[in-house]
Structure formats: structure tokens, C-alpha cells
Structure 1
Amino acid sequence: MLTIKNYASKLGAVAILLGITFAACKDDDAPTLSLRSKEFKLIKSIADSTQIGTVKLSENADSSINLSLSLTKTVKDTVNKVYLIKGIATAALTDTLYKGELKGTGDATAVEIWKNAKTIKYDSALLITAFAKVRFSATKDSVIAVGNIFKAAK
């Protein structure tokens, strides 16, 4: 009698383990979404390839995208002018895709160019031939950062 009870408890334990094993190995789990992102280098000038910032394109779970520009060092309280322009840095076209400002902090700083933009998708953005340019200020015409982005960066 003791042997039958012992055998029954072992059989129950095996059944539970098998049930857990099969439940854990089911194939119907939702696939993990892999979000894409790409960074483009900003340099001091066409003649000086010292990297001083980046432009980052990232994809969100709802297929919207973000685009941000960051500089590693800025002059405190200076309002830098930020532009995205069609073409390449050495042969600009007249189409301005974005015009905005980045306020200097005396340290690294960034600006969101597109936040959760749904009018353009990640793959479509990468097909645009464009470059980013940052001017010191509205009154001083000196470029402090420039870099080809998207398709122009290839």
C-alpha cells in the first residue's frame, strides 16, 4: 500500500514537471520588436573631421520616429541655429527641411528635431539626401558643426 502511494506521488510530480516544460516551450509567444536607430557624425567643418556631435534617428514601437541633434560642447547662453538641408554638405540645395535653435549650456546639449513623427517612417527618412548644419548664432555666420545625414552619409 505504501508503495502504491509513493508511486502515485512520483507520477503526479512527473506530470506537473512535464506540464510546466511543455507550457514553457510554446511557440505562440509574441515576437520581440527590434527598434532601429542610427547615428550620424557631426564634424567641425568640411576641412576638419574632428567629431563634435551627432544626429540620431530612432524608431518607436508605433512606427513613428525621433530625430535629435546633440553637440558635445556649447557656449553658455548662445542660441545656435540648427538646419537640416536637402543635398550634401559640399553641394547644398535650397530646400530647408528644418530650421530651429539649440541653446548653449556651456556643456553638452541636444535638441529634438522630430519627436514621435508619424508623417515619415524610418526607412523613408534614410532615403533622404540631407545634411545638418549648426551656426554659432543668428548674427555671426560661422558654422560650428556640419555633417551629412541619412542617405548622404553613405
Structure 2
Amino acid sequence: MKKWMNVRNCLLLNGEYIHTQCCAHILSLIVKECLKDGDISITRIWKAVKYVRLSPSRLARFKGCVEREKISYKDLICLDVETRRNSTYLMLVIAVKYKKAFDLLEISDAKYVKELSKEKGPGVPLSKDWDFVNTVLPFLRIFYYATMRIFGSS
């Protein structure tokens, strides 16, 4: 961008002091700020996903819950990357599809509840957490597609 502007004589002092922020990073900061109020809800769901993803035996127990709940969705749950808010959207979209499996895991796996609640942890996801996530997903979807469009553009 700097070269393009410099060739067209659009810069002062040959662009010596120009500094541009990445648009995707700015979008990420906006989303992060907007999600602060619901941070505990997202943290609970993130911890639940992390618990399941931590070992093959936990993932197998979770898959058993998915089968018992007859959930036909096939994508594997995934963790987000803190610095990429579009990955938070993907994590939450998939986790919401498996809500019933997480609820069943809470009933059938005492270790799951204990692990998420130890050392003043946030605990297992509550009904209000899932409600919050369902409320913010349309908002996150907009930013997800905007970020993807920015990455896909030249």
C-alpha cells in the first residue's frame, strides 16, 4: 500500500511516518471489545470444548454422548485461537450444535463437572451461556465473513 501511494505522490515525507493497521486485526479488536460482557459464557464453553479435546478417551466419551443424543452433525469440535476472533465464531457455531451432547456429558461424566469447576473455575456451561452465544452468533458471523473477505482480497 505504501509503494502504491508513494508512486502516486499521495504521501507526505515519502511515507516515512505512515503506519497502517491490518483491517482484520481492527475487526478482531472490535469483536473482542464487544464480547467482554459475555466473556464468562464464552470461557465456560471454551473450557468445555478444551476438556473434550484434551484426550482421546474424553473425545470418545463425548462422541458417545453425541450418538446417544442422535446428533447428526459431523464436524469435530475445535478450539479457537485467542488472537483470531473468526476462530471463536467457528468454535461457538460447532459447539452450539453439540449443546445436547455437552448437557449429557455433564450428567454422565462426573470428572467433566469436577475438572471445569476446580480451583474456582467457571464451571460447566449454563443455559444462559448457550442463550448468550446464540444471541451473539449472528453478530460474530458478520465479522467472520468480513474478515474472510479481507483475507481473500488482494
TM range (shorter): under 0.3
Compute the TM-score of the two structures, normalised by the length of structure 2: 0.25
Determine which structure has the larger strand proportion and give its number.
Answer: 1
Q: Specify which structure has the bigger relative contact order, considering alpha-carbon pairs within 8 angstroms and separated by 6 or more residues.
A: 2
**Bigger helix share:** 2
